[in-house]
Structure 1
Amino acid sequence: MDQQGKFTLPANTNFGVSAFTNSTFDQTVKILIDGQVKATFTGHGMSNNLIGSQVLNSGKGAVQVTVGTGSGGATPSSLISGRAILANRVNFGMVAADEGSDGDFNDSIIELNWPLR
């Protein structure tokens, strides 16, 4: 079973990741693959402001999303996450982060989708 912010994808699979923010404080979203940071998105804004989108490869399949605030994302946010599979073909991973100021879990929203061809 996946832990909060952690997903197991098929090995060597291309996937998309998009990060949005709903906070006046900078959000730093990091995407780790097999324990290595492969993408970092930083920004702030309201109304689901897009702070980054990228296509990555899953490597051995261990994908983790971390979110933090402050200098370089030094203060970790609380995460909730889930996974959905449509028609046994399209996979989505979703992560919602809360920086702790209001408990709304919309300060960062991260979406993963796979497979991409």
Structure 2
Amino acid sequence: HSGKEDWALPERWMDPPSSLDLSTPVNFVSTADIIGGNSGSPVLDRDLEVVGLVFDGNIESLPGDYIYLPEKNRSVSVDVRVILEALDEIYDLDRLVLELTTGRLFETEEEADQVGR
């Protein structure tokens, strides 16, 4: 792509840092029962930890307001690990990643840097 169109990616996306872990899972499919409007809903594991965010469903999930067929309905979610990886490595938001992963709110970058070490 020439990079001159409205949809051109920023340079940091075209030349990602070498520290970006390209083996990080991006998406996953589950049998979570979703309906229209569930985009952005958290997906929790058995320990009630957020493991992803729903963003789509397969065609069989469309009548989900009325019927759920566990053998057919699927939801598609973005893996929280790739969200954290992108925030840290592409957007350079390590302080936000620390706040999300530790549950602490840092008042300053210096305070976050002390915890991040």
Quickly name the TM-score band, shorter chain normalised: under 0.3
**Structure with higher strand content:** 1
TM-score (norm 2): 0.26
**Structure with higher helix content:** 2
Q: Which has the larger radius of gyration?
A: 2
Higher RCO, Cα 8 Å, sep 6+: 1
